[in-house]
Each structure stands twice: as structure tokens, then as C-alpha cells.
Amino acid sequence: MPVPDFQSFFRPTLEALQDGHEYRWREIRETVADLTGISQEDREDLVPSGAEPRYVNRIHWTVPYLAKAGLVMTTKRGYGRISDRGLALLKQKPGKIITSDLDEYPEFLAFRTANRKAGSQEVAPVIVSVSIESPDEQLDALYAELSADLADELLAQVRALTPQQFEILVVQLLVAMGYGGSVRDAGQALGRSDDNGIDGVVKQKTRWDWTRCASRPSSGPAMWAARKCETFPAA
């Protein structure tokens, strides 16, 4: 079956620990996945960043949530076991365990409650919602959304530039990428309006002094070229 939502890992994680023994948290991953019914194929499904399997990420975040509710306890770094409260919840709650069940415990409710102040005025406590995704997945999704919005806004601003401003921007970008090093005014825009191209000079001094010319051929706006204009030995 596909990787279930974040909260669906609460009960399987407690069941994997119900014998009361101490476990290394990473040791219970496959047991939890088996109890959840995740297929081997779906265990290869990665989080948006590609850093780790989705089910591993969700189990990783399940443990601190259960710990905040006092259902599991950490015995030492990377190790833990189920608590008496966790065993009691398994008996009292035969079905799926979700965040509203954890809200019954003051410690978890305090964890989910954000007390904010605006100046001297106190604001009523706000309950932090828990998504079906893990915090890492939520951050990845937010980053992708912000990146897309930023790209659209940047593209709109670039399209609004005059031809001369655009040529200056291209040269400045090349300098920022390392062409020209830290030499002040290494980039110089040389274009003329209505010449159907982008021209500029960026100087770079390494073993040889290079004068690089960036140009856009008139064959199409997507065609870009960087060609060596002239070389001479560094003095």
C-alpha cells in the first residue's frame, strides 16, 4: 500500500515497542513499515528533497511527537522504549491513534500550543495544526512553492528591463559567477540598442588573462554563447 499519512504511524510505532524492551529508534523502522502494510515498492518513495524514503522520514518524526505526549521515552541518545502511558493507550484505543488522542495529555497540548505576545497585549493561545505530512515534507513543499513564486517574480522583473539594463544584468551575472573575480568594474556592458544581441566584456585573471565576450546570436533568444575573444599572458 502507499505510504500512509503522518498520523497513521503513531499506533504501529507503539505496537513495535509494546514488548517494553529498549530499542534503537532506527531498528524499528522496518517493523513499523510491516505493521503499516507498506509494500517494498512504496518504501522506495522518497521525500521531495530526495534525502530519504518517505516512510522513514515520517517514522522519524513520529517518535518525538509520541515522546511529547509521554507515550515513549528516550533512554539514551538514539534509543528508547514505550512508557506505561503508551501501553495504556494501546489498550484503551483499539483503532487508529491520531493527534486529537495525544491532545488528551497536557504535555502534548502544551507542545501544540503557541503563546504569542504582540507588544504588551497578550494573544489567545493558538493550536498548531498537524499535517498529514511530516515537518520535513511540509518545509520541502513550502520551499518549492516559494522558489516558484520567486522565479516568476524575478522573470517578470527581468522582462520589464530595457535592452541596455538587460545587457548590464547579464554581465553582472557572469561576474557574480566568478568571471572577473573580485576586480571592481571587471564587467562592462558594450551593447547598443536595437542590435538584436547582447554584448559585454568580463575580464578574468588566472594563469592567463582572459577577455570573455558573452553574446546572444540573432538566431533565437534561447541560443546563448560564451566565446573567447582574446588571450594574452599575464604580466
Concatenating the DSSP letter of every residue in 144-205 gives: HHHHHHHHHHHHHHHHTS-HHHHHHHHHHHHHHTTTTTT-TT-EEE---TTSSS--EEEEEE
| pLDDT attached to residue 157 | 78
pLDDT tens digits, one per residue of 195-235: 566 666 656 554 434 444 445 444 443 333 444 444 444 44
What is the value of pTM for the model shown?
0.54
Q: Are the beta carbons of 58 and 48 closer than 8 angstroms?
A: no
Task: Give the relative orientation of helices 54-68 and 29-36 as an angle to the nearest 10 degrees.
Answer: 100
| pLDDT attached to residue 87 | 97
Q: Are the beta carbons of 4 and 62 closer than 8 angstroms?
A: no
Q: How far apart are CA 112 and CA 131, in angstroms?
A: 12
| pLDDT attached to residue 128 | 44
- The low-confidence residues of the chain, meaning pLDDT below 50, are 115-129, 182-183, 206-214, 216-235
Total residues belonging to the chain: 235
| pLDDT attached to residue 195 | 59
